[in-house]
Structure formats: C-alpha cells, structure tokens
Structure 1
Amino acid sequence: MSATSTVSESFQITTIIRYESGLLASQTSQTCIADKFMTIDDFYLLASHQDKLMNAAKHLNWPVQLIELYSGTRGLQILFAKLLLHIHEDRKGDAPLQVLVALAEMEH
C-alpha cells in the first residue's frame, strides 16, 4: 500500500476472542442471561483484545470519538455489553466459543 492510498470503506480491525462460561469463575461484572451468569472474565483476555483493537485504531488514525468510546474501563464495559448480545440464550451446551470482533471506522 502506498503512502497516498486509502483504506477501503469496508476495512475492519478484527480479533477473535475465546468465550467460555465460568472460565475464571469470577464474581465480578456479572450479567444474568437466561438464569446464567456471564462475566467479563468469561471472555479470555478481553482487556488485551480491547488494547489491541484500540492500538490498531490509533495507528490507522481513526476518529478520536471511536477510540475514546472503546477505551478504558467504560470502553471495556461497552465491548462486553455488545459481546453479550451475540451469545445466544438458546445455544446448545456450554462448549467454548470463538467470537469474532470486527471494528469499523465511523463515518464522519
């Protein structure tokens, strides 16, 4: 990619996070879905994935608003809440999942 080329509008920063219910058996940040408690700790190294996404967004000079939204403790809670939307209540069993997280630049 040359210095003058631009990233396509469909470009996304991605990471794959392991989800496993009760991974660390933590009682912090619990959310109850279908009588099951889900915690931030059920997403393996979620804060590290958050840092990786934010570092990539900064490197690509993405809007400050996007970076601020998903940074820090508040950003971690927002990411966690969005991930919970995709862990379906009716999924079969407690088998671990791989969750693909894709972050796209907001339009100006």
Structure 2
Amino acid sequence: MGYRIGLDIGITSVGYAILKTDEKGSPYKIEHLTSVIFPIAENPKDGKSLAMPRREQRGARRRNRRTKFRKHRTKMLFVRSELLTIKQIEAIYSEKKSCQAFMNCEQKH
C-alpha cells in the first residue's frame, strides 16, 4: 500500500489530490483533495498586469544587449576580414560620439 499525488497547477490556482493505492499501485481511495485559488494579479484601477513594468524593462534590457552584441559582431567581422583594426574602429566611434554631442549642443541653443 502506498500513496499517489496528483497536481493541477494553473495560472491562478493550484489543486492537488492524495490517493491511497493498493499493492499493485492502483488508486482505490481519495485521501485528501483540495484547490487554492489566488487573487488576480492585476491593478484593480485599470486592469493592467502587475508584471507589465518588469516585462517591459526586461524586454528593453534584452533589446539593448542584442543590439550591443550585433554591433560587437560587426566590429569583429571588420577586424577578422582585415578591413579595419580595433584602433580604427574605436576612433570612428569616438568621433561619432563627439559629433553627436556637438550636434545636441547646437540643437539646444
């Protein structure tokens, strides 16, 4: 004789049952059975998900990481192809940053 446990895990609920089994392992009696329902995970004022801000921030982090990695791979492609050296690439990016800073200063005035 033994026991068998059954689980039902949902988005807003968890249910479980404990069954007694005979010598062959076949269930013959429900020992305990219940479910727990959780409150809805949304803002009561507007109905938006509570996880939405985290999800958006995680998506932004992933986009930034992917963009940065694509740029890195492109730079390394130029280096491996011997079209540019790392110093030349760094010089191009430093010129670009200083130019962008200069343009932003002019636009503000």
Fold similarity call, TM over 0.5: no
Task: Name whichever structure is richer in strand by fraction.
Answer: 2
TM-score, length basis structure 1: 0.24
TM-score, length basis structure 2: 0.24
Task: Name whichever structure is richer in helix by fraction.
Answer: 2
Which structure is higher in RCO with an 8 Å CA cutoff and minimum separation 6? 1
